[in-house]
Structures are given as structure tokens and as C-alpha cells.
């Protein structure tokens, strides 16, 4: 099956939004653009069980200090794509293993693994029995 790539950049505000923000802060829109933070390009392996379709979707996410892969996924879900499926916090400490995913081919516990200084990552399910996106069956 051929993989399809969809690119999104919901993090860049429109010119009108920049102008309004600049008026409030007393800065020009150009100042706002140059002051933007660092980003990470998250490529996520997606799977739709209804259509039996696999693809890679890309998200440009602003980095924050101490960001874990779990908070990265939650940011995407809350701000960019509410259809993204992943196991959210259970223990939040890395002890239960229910949120496990693969990052660049290596299995990790996203609730306990910081993103670090990576500029681009590939997130995949950490198992073969995929239910949807990054959610796997433990049967």
C-alpha cells in the first residue's frame, strides 16, 4: 500500500492576526514573525480502520521547555487535529506502558520521554495490532 503525505502548518498566524497582536503589544507584524519560537516537524503514521488506509501526516509544532512526546501529541490533538488517536496519560510517570509508541524506530514511553532538541521525528505505533493511528491492541 502506498503511503500518502499530508502537510499542515496551523501554527503560522495570518497577517490580520499578526497585525491585531502587534497593535496590542506595540510592535509591527514583522517583529512578531521574527520573534516566533522553535518548531519540531512531527511525522505521524496514521491508520484508518474504516478505510483500511495508512498514511504519514506532518505537523509543525512549537517546542516548549520540558515538552514530552505525550505533550506533543496532546498539542496536536487539541490545536491541530482532533481526529488523532493515541493513548493519553494513564500513570504519567512511565510505569504502566500503555502509552508506548515508536519514535524514529525506537520504542519509548512518551509520557516520560522529553522531545529534546530534535527538529524532525517520525512517530509510529509500537505494535503490529494497530486499532487506529498510534493506538495498539494489547490482546
**pLDDT tens digit sequence for 46-59:** 999 999 999 999 99
Please, where are the H alpha helices in the chain? 15-25, 29-34, 69-79
pTM of the model: 0.72
Q: What is the pLDDT of residue 86?
A: 95
pLDDT, mean over the chain? 80
**Domain 5-136 CATH superfamily:** Beta-grasp domain (3.10.20.30)
Which residues of the chain are modeled with pLDDT < 70? 1-36, 90, 92-93
Q: What is the pLDDT of residues 102-124, one digit of tens each?
A: 999 999 999 999 999 889 999 99
DSSP tag of 94:
S
Neighbours of 33 (CB within 10 A): 13
Listed by start position, the domains of the chain span: 5-136
Q: What is the pLDDT of residue 9?
A: 46
What does DSSP say about strands 120-125 and 39-48: parallel, antiparallel, or unpaired? Answer: parallel
- 1, 2, 112 from 54: Cα distances, Å: 8, 8, 27
What does DSSP say about strands 53-62 and 39-48: parallel, antiparallel, or unpaired? Answer: antiparallel
Q: Which residue has the cell 520573534?
A: 35
Amino acid at each position: 500500500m502506498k503511503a500518502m503525505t499530508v502537510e499542515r502548518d496551523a501554527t503560522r498566524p495570518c497577517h490580520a492576526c499578526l497585525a491585531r497582536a502587534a497593535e496590542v503589544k506595540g510592535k509591527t507584524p514583522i517583529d512578531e514573525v521574527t520573534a516566533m519560537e522553535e518548531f519540531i516537524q512531527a511525522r505521524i503514521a496514521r491508520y484508518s480502520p474504516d478505510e483500511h488506509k495508512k498514511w504519514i501526516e506532518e505537523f509543525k509544532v512549537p517546542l516548549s521547555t520540558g515538552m514530552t512526546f505525550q505533550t506533543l501529541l496532546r498539542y496536536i490533538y487539541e490545536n491541530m487535529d482532533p481526529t488523532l488517536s493515541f493513548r493519553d496519560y494513564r500513570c504519567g510517570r512511565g510505569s504502566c506502558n500503555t502509552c508506548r509508541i515508536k519514535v524514529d524506530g525506537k520504542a519509548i514511553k512518551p509520557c516520560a520521554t522529553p522531545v529534546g532538541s530534535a527538529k524532525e521525528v517520525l512517530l509510529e505505533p509500537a505494535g503490529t495490532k494497530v486499532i487506529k493511528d498510534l493506538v495498539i491492541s494489547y490482546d
